[in-house]
Structure 1
Amino acid sequence: MACRFPGGASSPERLWDLCANGQSAWSPIPESRFHAESWYHPDKEHLGTSYVKGAHFLAEDISRFDAAFFNLTADAASTMDPEVRLQLETVYEALESTCFRHNHDSLLRDPDTLARSFLTGNGAAMIANRISRFFDLRAPSLMVDTGCSTTLTLLHLACQSLRAGESDMAIVGGSNILLNPDMFIAGSNLSLLSAQGRCFAFDARATGYARGNGIASMIIKPLIAQSEMEIPFVLQEAQEVLMRECYEMAGLDPRDTGFVEAHGTGTQAGDIIEAHSIGRVFVLRRSTDGLAGVIKAVMAMEKQAIPPHLNFESPNENGAFDALNLEDPPQVGESEENEEELLDQLAFTLGQRRTRFPCTIAWSGSSITEAYATLDAPGLTTQRSMRVPRVGMVFTGQGAQWFAMGRELLDAYPVFCDTIHEADACLKSMGAMWSALEELQRNAEESRLNQVAYSLPLSVAIQLALVDLLRSWGVYLAGVTAHSSGEVGAAYAAGAITLKGALAIVYIRGETWCGRWSF
């Protein structure tokens, strides 16, 4: 998962912190978007203006974008909808870990300056395909707009695609950036928006919903059955039918649900309908929209805690909360986490699950707290490597072998294990009456590794398997040096001999040493 939300919520973890601390990301409409006063009028009946004073905006500069990183020209990037640019970023981030609104109007108002790449950066048909093109995805790619339920409709379609075997993995994303007053005016004309620009869901003060920026991406795979789907309907009966159908399809009992992420529009009509339909289907505790709600729900399960409900003071009397078995939001709980395990996970993730870029940072830390402090330090600078590192290796001769050498690698890395199996087959084809794989798995008392006939081929087999493992990671040696039998492994690493040739050298040498081979 990856996201960009107001209040500095630039990741699922930071979104959780925002929700868990009950913080609001509301702000007056910034001048950088449009001159709000020119379009403001307090009268809801006044057409062509907006009575909204604020909303929820991203703090970051939405014009900033690394076009070169995504292989885009300056012309293509400059005319691309900011939502598409941010979606590219979040999909990339989501893939590393595992509902569009367009700026058509702003650009089309001056056809004389319409850029050549306008359509490819803003056309509805191009939005999802921008993601497909950059990541070279070949499965179906589509853009959907069903209003507030857009991203959840996409999540539903993605799940269907996975169940049907049409795809092995799916990317679901949505974005919304407030660039001009148009939708504020349109919403004001229908009295849909909260004048304060704040949403008071299920609260007596509810007067309308609040608008906000948001970008979210999620990667899903066919692993766990979906236990919840929320697609709001106008009619209470339709909402109830849909929720029950979803639970029946998943084979789950709604009564076992302890948490429901609601739409929570903050409108008098919408809150009442939703509260009644939820209360009739579930016996539950809690309430929000689209992928933002899904990400929050996932984080709540990971943290084993439920965040407080922002802007809730007193229940909407028309919602009949007492009859619906709804409880006030509980306090956020704390989950216990082993710091050593977290540090190990962090090191593994950064080392094995992140793309290697030309600019890198190297640091050391013995705790999560120290790691965070180091990464946040102002003096930390990146180093750019202008060339591929030159790696050399020294291959030892006899004397370093021991009974359990390479044992963990056999279980951890298939490439290493495959080479040992290949070495085993080669040795048997030369007349060996024993198994290399079995010898490497004997205990200290039974091991024959200190006998020359075994130590020579087995030590070199381990060296050959290590070379193959490094090659599988893209590590190729620029130079080698060696001693005694290690010269055989070095010759293999340099490409001078084959695996079978290397094993033939050490096997025959061992047999000759023991007097079992003569020329």
Structure 2
Amino acid sequence: MDPHPRTSSQVEGPMPLAIVGVAFEFPQEATSMERFWQMVQDGRTASTEFPSSRLNIDAFYHPDQERPSSIPVRCGNFVKENIGAFDAPFFSIAPEEAACMDPQHRRMLETAYHALEDAGIPIAKCAGSDAVVYTGCFTNDYLSVLQQDYEAEQRHAAMGIAPSMLANRIRAQGWDYLNVGGANLVYHPNFMKMMSDFNFLSPDGRSWSFDQRANGYARGEGMAVIVVKRLADALRDGDTIRAVIRNTGSNQDGRTPGITQPSQEAQISLIKDAYKQANIDMGPTRFFEAHGTGTPVGDPIEANAIGKAFSDHRSAADPLYIGAVKANIGHLEGCSGLAGVIKALLVLEKGLIPPIAGFTSLNHVIDAQALHLCVGAPLSNRHAATN
């Protein structure tokens, strides 16, 4: 790394960003970098039956997907700690107010604090700083619970903070650091029923990423926050830089056979554009952390798109390795992207390419041999330049 990096105005392309702090709570024992990496390295899964603390799965489960008012799924990936636990006094929050807060909100406060702690940014320094906060979530299970209690629902609704959160925007200048977070907790049957009705969920409670057994995704719980600075600022401040984000990107699938079916052409274009905009050579990339939800349609589209995007840069002797953390901890939905970022960060730090948990046989629609892809290989110490 250049010890005297050029400023953003001198560098063509997007401003490089540094990840300087990380905190998360993923399913089961994956609550620290060491334990999470051990799970990924060993190719283990966090899938278990629904804990009784979430819901009585025996009251809702039935293997017949067509049966009304039932759920054909018994398993998922759940955090171990009591989701009702919250140190409200630490955040100067009254007990009555804490009782109205979505548990995802409570856990995000705690995770954000630990991320800032990991970044070496004390709370006193946060006060008055120009910090930008981006958070994501997927469901509103807590609201579904509160709707069964009219008085509690009114107290909860009165606490709306969405307008102030949506007002946060990144500008070219004027911010000191970013807190980027996501949260997902699962404890109400309504959304489970809706997702299973659309055939999104695996009856096995497993995400068989890129596997011939792929039959839908497994839901997962988790919270994660990363603290991000401009690379030049992180070097100036002497921060520990865990990884550098050279570019990000998104696009739209356009017209496809179904609204949930991705476009291979759009994905190829997105990958190539992300590298081109950042002036990065695609050649050194050896590892690609994929979406890999474990769906029989989406997985082959994604894997073949990745292979075609890198087709000019890989060979049979030097393939592109593909990973998917959803096979370990399920689809964390509003937190899933950060789970992939954190796993990719660890792959770079460890210099190892871990296996895909539970992988046995490649989906036959994925043309791995022609596209020089390596999917589901055992633990490898190949140089892991990563995407």
Q: Tell me if TM exceeds 0.5.
A: yes
Q: Report if the CA contact (8 A) 1:206-1:266 is conserved.
A: yes
The SS at the match of 1:285 is strand
Q: Report if the CA contact (8 A) 2:143-2:153 is conserved.
A: no
1:74 to 95, 99, 104: 95
Aligned to 1:291: 338
Aligned to 2:168: 141
Aligned to 1:111: 150
Q: Normalized against structure 1, the TM-score is what?
A: 0.55
Q: Report if the CA contact (8 A) 1:264-1:271 is conserved.
A: yes
Alignment-mate amino acid for residue 329 of structure 1: A
Alignment-mate amino acid for residue 90 of structure 2: F
Q: Report if the CA contact (8 A) 2:209-2:294 is conserved.
A: yes
Aligned to 1:41: 62
The SS at the match of 1:256 is coil
The SS at the match of 1:221 is strand
The SS at the match of 1:319 is coil
The answer to whether structure 1 residue 208 and structure 2 residue 216 are counterparts is yes
Q: What do residues 365-386 of structure 1 show as CA deviations (whole Å, max 9, x unaligned)? A: xxxxxxxxxxxxxxxxxxxxxx
Question: How far apart in 1 are the matches of 2:301 and 2:382?
Answer: 33
Alignment-mate amino acid for residue 267 of structure 2: Q
Matches within 5 A, 1:149-164: 161=170, 164=172
Question: Structure 1: which 5+ residue stretches go unaligned?
Answer: 130-139, 143-160, 336-519
Moved more, 59-68 or 323-332: 323-332
The SS at the match of 2:226 is strand
Aligned to 1:183: 191
The SS at the match of 1:45 is coil
Question: How far apart in 1 are the matches of 2:321 and 2:382?
Answer: 18
The answer to whether structure 1 residue 304 and structure 2 residue 344 are counterparts is no
Question: How far apart in 2 are the matches of 1:127 and 1:52?
Answer: 37
User: Moved runs in structure 1, 4+ residues, more than 3 A?
Assistant: 112-115, 126-129, 227-233, 332-335
Question: How far apart in 2 are the matches of 1:232 and 1:309?
Answer: 28
Q: Go from structure 1 to structure 2 and tell me whether the alpha carbon gap of 1:124 and 1:109 turns closer, same or farther (over 3 Å shift).
A: farther
Aligned to 1:85: 106
**More strand, by proportion:** 2
1:227: Cα distance to partner? 5.2
Aligned to 2:180: 172
Aligned to 1:51: 72
Structure possessing the higher relative contact order (Cα contacts under 8 Å, 6 or more residues apart):
2
1:228: Cα distance to partner? 6.2
1:302: Cα distance to partner? 1.1
Question: How far apart in 1 are the matches of 2:115 and 2:29?
Answer: 18
Q: Go from structure 1 to structure 2 and tell me whether the alpha carbon gap of 1:50 and 1:320 turns closer, same or farther (over 3 Å shift).
A: same
The SS at the match of 1:37 is helix
Q: Report if the CA contact (8 A) 2:353-2:382 is conserved.
A: no
Q: Go from structure 1 to structure 2 and tell me whether the alpha carbon gap of 1:280 and 1:124 turns closer, same or farther (over 3 Å shift).
A: farther
1:65 to 86, 100, 111: 86
Alignment-mate amino acid for residue 350 of structure 2: K
- Alignment length (residue pairs): 304
Question: How far apart in 1 are the matches of 2:357 and 2:249?
Answer: 22
The answer to whether structure 1 residue 313 and structure 2 residue 360 are counterparts is yes
Question: Structure 2: which 5+ residue stretches go unaligned?
Answer: 1-21, 120-135, 232-243, 254-261, 315-319, 325-335
Question: How far apart in 2 are the matches of 1:292 and 1:231?
Answer: 21
Aligned to 1:324: 371
Question: How far apart in 2 are the matches of 1:141 and 1:11?
Answer: 29
Q: What do residues 30-49 of structure 1 show as CA deviations (whole Å, max 9, x unaligned)? A: 11111112212212223432
1:2: Cα distance to partner? 0.5
Aligned to 1:23: 44
1:7: Cα distance to partner? 2.1
Q: Report if the CA contact (8 A) 1:13-1:299 is conserved.
A: no
1:79: Cα distance to partner? 1.5
The SS at the match of 1:207 is coil
Aligned to 1:245: 273
**More helix, by proportion:** 1
Q: What do residues 436-456 of structure 1 show as CA deviations (whole Å, max 9, x unaligned)? A: xxxxxxxxxxxxxxxxxxxxx
Identity of aligned residues (%): 38
Q: Report if the CA contact (8 A) 2:216-2:293 is conserved.
A: yes
Alignment-mate amino acid for residue 321 of structure 2: R
Question: How far apart in 2 are the matches of 1:259 and 1:229?
Answer: 18
Question: How far apart in 2 are the matches of 1:303 and 1:314?
Answer: 26
1:117: Cα distance to partner? 4.7
The SS at the match of 1:307 is coil
Question: How far apart in 1 are the matches of 2:29 and 2:202?
Answer: 23
Q: Go from structure 1 to structure 2 and tell me whether the alpha carbon gap of 1:304 and 1:200 turns closer, same or farther (over 3 Å shift).
A: same
Aligned to 2:246: 226
1:190: Cα distance to partner? 0.6
Q: Report if the CA contact (8 A) 1:6-1:58 is conserved.
A: yes
The answer to whether structure 1 residue 125 and structure 2 residue 158 are counterparts is no
Aligned to 1:256: 284
Q: Go from structure 1 to structure 2 and tell me whether the alpha carbon gap of 1:126 and 1:188 turns closer, same or farther (over 3 Å shift).
A: same
Q: Report if the CA contact (8 A) 1:79-1:115 is conserved.
A: no
1:14: Cα distance to partner? 2.2
Alignment-mate amino acid for residue 296 of structure 1: K
Matches within 5 A, 1:353-432: none
The SS at the match of 1:174 is strand
The SS at the match of 1:255 is coil
Q: Go from structure 1 to structure 2 and tell me whether the alpha carbon gap of 1:254 and 1:232 turns closer, same or farther (over 3 Å shift).
A: farther
1:309: Cα distance to partner? 0.9
Question: How far apart in 2 are the matches of 1:301 and 1:169?
Answer: 23
Alignment-mate amino acid for residue 168 of structure 2: S
Question: How far apart in 2 are the matches of 1:6 and 1:270?
Answer: 24
Q: Normalized against structure 2, the TM-score is what?
A: 0.73
Question: How far apart in 2 are the matches of 1:232 and 1:217?
Answer: 26
Alignment-mate amino acid for residue 203 of structure 2: A
Root-mean-square deviation over aligned CA pairs:
2.3
